[in-house]
Amino acid sequence: MADRILVLYGSYRSDRTGIRLADYAVRTLQARGFEAELIDAKQIDLPMLDRMYKEYPKGEAPEAMEALAGKIREADGFVFVTGEYNWGMQPGLKNLTDHFLEEWYWRPAGIVSYSAGRLGGARAGLLWHGTLAEMGMVVISSSVTVGPITKTLDADGQPTGDAGQSLEKSFARFAEDLAWWTEAAKEQRQRKQPPF
**Domain count along the chain:** 1
Give pTM, 2 decimals.
Answer: 0.97
pLDDT tens profile 10-22: 999 999 999 999 9
Distance CA 180, CA 176 (A): 6
Instruction: Note whether residue 196 is domain-resident.
Output: no
pLDDT of res. 60: 97
Its domain, for residue 178, covers 4-191
**177, 79 Cβ separation under 8 angstroms:** no
CATH assignment of the domain containing 72: 3.40.50.360
Instruction: Note whether residue 105 is domain-resident.
Output: yes
pLDDT of res. 1: 80
Instruction: Note whether residue 145 is domain-resident.
Output: yes
3-state DSSP of the chain: CCCEEEEEECCCCCCCCHHHHHHHHHHHHHHCCCEEEEEEHHHHCCCCCCCCHHHCCCCCCCHHHHHHHHHHHHCCEEEEEEECECCECCHHHHHHHHCCCHHHCCCEEEEEEECCCCCCCHHHHHHHHHHHHHCCCEEEEEEEEECCHHHCECCCCCECHHHHHHHHHHHHHHHHHHHHHHHHHHHHHHHCCCCC
Low-confidence ranges of the chain (pLDDT < 50): none
Instruction: Note whether residue 101 is domain-resident.
Output: yes
pLDDT of res. 196: 82
